[in-house]
Structure 1
């Protein structure tokens, strides 16, 4: 096999499926290559490369993209990852919206659809719409369910990643331990990857704006507060999938403020959109949601600006500990309250840059999400792509074609 990071040749098994996997991993960078170039990179016979390229083409993963420049004689064909073959499905389930998108294997969205639906309507209603809409979108592309390589889905609550089941989600009545992969597999013969919405937003943000950054914290500030942690280039989920749940970290300023989790003093009880709206409503302002708070800030309301700035300080207090533990290159703020812009970010920066060690903040960027509302959709698609195109997945598919 070929170590993709070094180009060194490692052991190749007798079936040769790992050869196809290695060739495909080389082609995932998007660069077209000839059989001769691939043979030189891997040290494999050109005939072996040709056989495995053919297998990848039969699977719809690789396609010819034209001829290389001729050095005399017949020009050689070039091959690259197929963008018109197999596809993945990304699903973003929000508290009050649903989005589905069909993407090619590079993450490019081919078609998408949005529906206003509350997650409180329950898993069967939500997922039935996802299934029906996916069939409609596939048909519009001239594709079938058999073209789906994988499905990625983000949910607005805690998810046990190993099973894909939501666990005691506070804003998702009827969803506790519901078999989301099983329900979707009743209609699609493709692996289903389920994660919480903040984790997939972290994946989407990194793919969209920070592809070269291996250490990033994405913070969603909306109805709740949570974070997705990427360290060493990998999304960190922890033992049970709850890594990054900073919304229920204790903040001394709110020692007596009750939280929906049953404790007091949680960050979410102080700095989330509804928490700020409640605070502002006591001053006579009309505010019940995160968006109401954002609109007040945009209109220049001083009370709202000061409340958002303080929320940033509270979030910064928790993130200071995260900076010491993880030493990220970037902290990215997203979610509906992040639309308040620099006022929220300024509060975070004020605390993090003041209280963290200078070495940890020397190159640290604290900024607003560049992917914005598309972060979750991009992340859901990448969740599916990373699974579908992993070496073991490619090997399994090629093995089936060579039996």
Structure 2
């Protein structure tokens, strides 16, 4: 499934301007993709754009209006006679539960279909508590948020969950996650659906952070890398507008790429010289502690740097250089136009960024970096829940998702 199902409809229209594209919008679900831009349309405008007969368009629009996903938004200017009605996508027609499960926290948010956060809550629950405890919290928190927002369960479109480890995207099951004891192969989807009978989508946390950052702040960027620097280090790769998961869902695992400075340093994965063993929050803290600086975590390092501790600032800058060494290869290979640095260590701000930029711009060819932007995450702590919401919206608002919803509506009478 394409990450942005609107792209197919837009491409069909743009491929042959002025030519009918009725084959590409043969169903109401296909027609709906044109409406997802949020702009008001009239039936006549849709008929001209798609090449479909006005009666055919009218029937499909009526189905969408009945679903609540499209609403009337007034009348267009009349060129004579009765003014035509206008209608648009109604993002508030359904809600989404989005969960960000981190190493030591769980954030659950209620959003609309555009990913706008309506309400949220955060708890300090470690992922090591196990899947049943963590997912039970997600379900309970989700139900609380729905009740407090006075949104009935029947308007819940789905649940999106980000996990801090490898996930088999097709099944939503974690696969040998290194910091998630008890989660390997656990049926996350099945467990949640015992309480919430809606689609449940699960992915690696950095993948959904990439989706959230792009949707919220870089919607026109088709080639973007989101780099999460926290307990681990990973990348969410968006290329040609689509999230790249790789053959087995492990694309973007930058934390276990070997770096030059890592000779003799053992990573928790068992290999030598991994980026994570040098530049993660815990690794930087260990390095400082070994040199007599009181730092037990990445948060401690950031706090020290914020108070001007030179050792902490130098350590963060070096971590940025190590990350930049790996990212320079990514730039040469993938040619992104934007690299976003996020995760808890992004709170170190320009200390890490300076090191990243120093190496990337030095080691990558001018053509690949002339228009390259390396920036801090603008979504911040909400990147994951925004992306988890996008994961659900892309599924339920796809042509097939809309057709299924309309079929259920017709069957229900």
* Range of TM-score over shorter length: over 0.9
Q: Mapping of 1:124-135 within 5 angstroms?
A: 124-135=132-143
Partner in structure 2 of residue 379 of structure 1: 387
Contact kept, 8 Å, 2:324 with 2:355, in 1: the verdict is: yes
Partner in structure 1 of residue 20 of structure 2: 9
Residues matched between the structures, number: 399
- Structure 2 residue 346 is matched with structure 1 residue 338: yes
Partner in structure 2 of residue 398 of structure 1: 406
Gaps spanning 5+ residues in structure 2: where?
A: 1-7, 14-18
SS of 1:95's partner is coil
Distance 1:291 1:371 in 2: 19
Partner in structure 2 of residue 58 of structure 1: 66
TM-score by length of 2: 0.93
Partner in structure 2 of residue 99 of structure 1: 107
Q: Mapping of 1:263-342 within 5 angstroms?
A: 263-342=271-350
TM-score by length of 1: 0.95
Partner in structure 2 of residue 258 of structure 1: 266
Alignment CA distance shift 1:92-1:19 (3 Å): same
Distance 2:263 2:171 in 1: 35
Q: Which moved more, 1:79-88 or 1:171-180?
A: 79-88
Q: Mapping of 1:158-177 within 5 angstroms?
A: 158-177=166-185
Q: CA deviation at 1:302?
A: 0.8
Distance 1:85 1:355 in 2: 49
Q: Which moved more, 1:236-245 or 1:116-125?
A: 116-125
Structure 1 residues 349-383: Cα deviation after superposition (integer angstroms, max 9, x where no partner): 11111111111111111111111111111111111
Partner in structure 1 of residue 203 of structure 2: 195
Structure 1 residues 199-256: Cα deviation after superposition (integer angstroms, max 9, x where no partner): 1111111112211111111111111111111100111000111000000001121121
Structure 1 residues 257-279: Cα deviation after superposition (integer angstroms, max 9, x where no partner): 01101111100001111111011
Contact kept, 8 Å, 1:150 with 1:387, in 2: the verdict is: no
Partner in structure 1 of residue 214 of structure 2: 206
Distance 2:113 2:26 in 1: 20
Q: CA deviation at 1:123?
A: 0.9
Structure 1 residues 151-191: Cα deviation after superposition (integer angstroms, max 9, x where no partner): 21100111111110111111111111110011111122221
Q: CA deviation at 1:10?
A: 4.1
SS of 1:4's partner is helix
Q: CA RMSD in A?
A: 1.7
Q: CA deviation at 1:78?
A: 1.1
Q: Determine which of 92, 100, 121 is the counterpart of 2:129.
A: 121
Contact kept, 8 Å, 1:221 with 1:333, in 2: the verdict is: yes
Distance 1:202 1:377 in 2: 11
Distance 1:261 1:346 in 2: 28
Partner in structure 2 of residue 149 of structure 1: 157
